[in-house]
Amino acid sequence: MMPLTIPTLTTERLILRAPTRADFAPSAALLASARATYMGGPYDRAAAWAQFTGACASWLLEGFGSWMITDRATGAWLGETGITHPDHFPEPELGWMVAPEAEGQGIAHEAARAAQTWGLQTRGLATFVSYVDPENIRSLALARRLGARQDDSAQRPAGETPADTTVFRHGGRP
């Protein structure tokens, strides 16, 4: 087996890097908070671990996965973004979540744009989606700002309906 290399992406203000064990604590805290409501949470520690390790394993299984978002100047953990494909998702998804202190500063946009560009141009994915809770106004706006278009004909994650999930398409048709 070849060693796994997770690329590091650098933007104007951010470094998107491979996850480490130390990243689980801030990730679990965010997943345990009310901020995770739009992602099926809040999650207890065991469920947060499953989310975290699943995103990590995606690199090995799919060749894409989650990056930790860190501040270039301070190294502070600001959140996560990436393209993952859990078993219950019909296709790969670009997702994001940022810590409360990173909200409203364009951090999610900058990080998700880097992941989106990497997925389409470097990784060569023809298309992927973002699954967004229709009540998550900020993420709906971010998906549109990324240039994704609403795709009402796309399949949703297992058990989800249009009332639960708005699908945004990045790239071309599957």
C-alpha 19/C-alpha 82 separation (Å) is: 11
C-alpha 125/C-alpha 108 separation (Å) is: 21
Q: What's the whole-number mean pLDDT along residues 93-115?
A: 96
pLDDT at 7 over 90: yes
Question: pLDDT for 63-74, tens place per residue?
Answer: 999 999 999 999
Question: pLDDT for 28-63, tens place per residue?
Answer: 999 999 888 888 889 999 999 999 999 999 999 999
Within a domain: 3: no
Mean per-residue pLDDT of the chain: 94
- Total domains in the fold of the chain: 1
C-alpha 7/C-alpha 122 separation (Å) is: 10
The answer to whether 16 and 6 have CB atoms below 8 angstroms apart is no
Within a domain: 1: no
Question: Could you tell me which of 35, 40, 51 has the C-alpha nearest to residue 165?
Answer: 40
Could you tell me the CATH number of the domain that includes residue 26? 3.40.630.30
Domain interval for residue 23: 9-171
